[in-house]
Amino acid sequence: MKIAKQLLSLSLVASMFVACNNAPETNVEAEEAQAVDETKTAEAASYAALTDGDEISWRGFETLSGDDHTGVIQVSDGELKVENGALVGGKIVIDMTSINDQDLEGEYKAKLEGHLKSADFFAVDSFPTATFEITNVAPIEATNDSMDVNQNITGNLTLRGITKSITFAAKVSVDDNNVSLMANDVRIDRSQWNVRFRSTSFAEFAEIAKEKVIDNTLELQINMQAAKS
C-alpha cells in the first residue's frame, strides 16, 4: 500500500509538470535548404514589400512556468513574384534589430529585448537580418481553417546564418496591384537555427532545472503586403 501511494504521488507530480507546459508542439519541419530555380520567376511581375506595415508576430514559451512572451519583428525589404495571377516566388528581409516585446513595459521590456538580441538568442550584432526566400508555391484544397488558407509556401529561412527549408500553409490573395500573404501559427524549432539559450537540445543546458527551461517552439504569424512595382 505504501509503495502504491508513492507511485500515485509521483504520477500526480508528473501530471502537474505536463499540465504546466503550455507550449504548443512545432508543426513545421526544418529540412535541408533547397536550390532556388530562378527560371520559375523569370517572367513574373514584381510586387515590392510594403515595409511600413509588414511585420512578423512572435511568441516564445517557458516550459513549466506557463509564462510566454509576445512581440513583433519588422520586414525591412523584399518582393513577391506573380505570374498569371498566382504567387510563384519572392524573398523578404527581416530586420532582427527591430525585435520588439509587447507584453512587458519599462525596464523589463528593455531587458528582454536586449537579451533576445544578444548571442544567447539571435545575435543581431553578427546577424542583423534574417531572410525567407520562396522556392515553391502549391495550391491546397479548402479547409475548415478560420483563415481559409489556400497555398502551401515552401522556402529557405536563414536565421543566425543557418539556412533551412520550411513549408507552411498561408492565405494568399493576388490582384492587379497588390499581394497579401498571411499565415498563422507557424511553429518552428528554434534549436534548428542554433538559438541555444536554456534549450535542453544542447549539452550545456542538459542539467538545467526544469522550471528554467525555455521551450524550443517559436510561434510566428506572418502578415505581408506587397504592391506592384
* pLDDT grade for 65, boundaries at 50, 70 and 90: low
Please state the rounded mean pLDDT for residues 20-37: 87
Question: What SS3 class is residue 162?
Answer: strand
The CATH fold of domain 22-228: Lipocalin (2.40.128)
- The residues with which 227 forms a beta bridge, in sequence order, are 48, 178
Q: Alpha-carbon distance 123 to 161, whole Å? A: 10
- The enclosing H or E element of 117 equals helix 106-117
Question: What SS3 class is residue 19?
Answer: helix
Contact 67, 34 (CB under 8 A): no
Answer whether residue 6 shows pLDDT above 70: no
Tell me, what's the pLDDT at 142? 65
Q: Alpha-carbon distance 29 to 189, whole Å? A: 8
Please state the rounded mean pLDDT for residues 11-22: 38
Tell me, what's the pLDDT at 99? 97
Please state the rounded mean pLDDT for residues 180-194: 97
Give the start-to-end residue ranges of the domains of the chain: 22-228
Give percent of the chain above pLDDT 90.
79
Average pLDDT of the chain?
88
What confidence tens digit (pLDDT) does each residue in 118-149 have? 999 999 999 999 999 999 999 997 665 556 89
pTM, two decimals, is: 0.87
DSSP 78-132: EEEEEETTEEEEEEEEEEEEEEEESS--HHHHHHHHHHHHSTTTT-TTT--EEEE
Please state the rounded mean pLDDT for residues 9-23: 40
Nearest to 62 by CA among 192, 213, 220, 194: 213
The residue written with cell numbers 509587447 in the block is 102
- The grid coordinates listed for 210 are 526544469
Nearest to 133 by CA among 79, 86, 90: 90
Tell me, what's the pLDDT at 181? 97
Tell me, what's the pLDDT at 66? 62
> Phi and psi of 30, rounded to 5°?
-90, 120
- For residue 2, count other CB atoms closer than 10 A to its CB: 6
* pLDDT grade for 84, boundaries at 50, 70 and 90: very high
Answer whether residue 3 shows pLDDT above 70: no
Which amino acid is it at 198? R
* pLDDT grade for 82, boundaries at 50, 70 and 90: very high
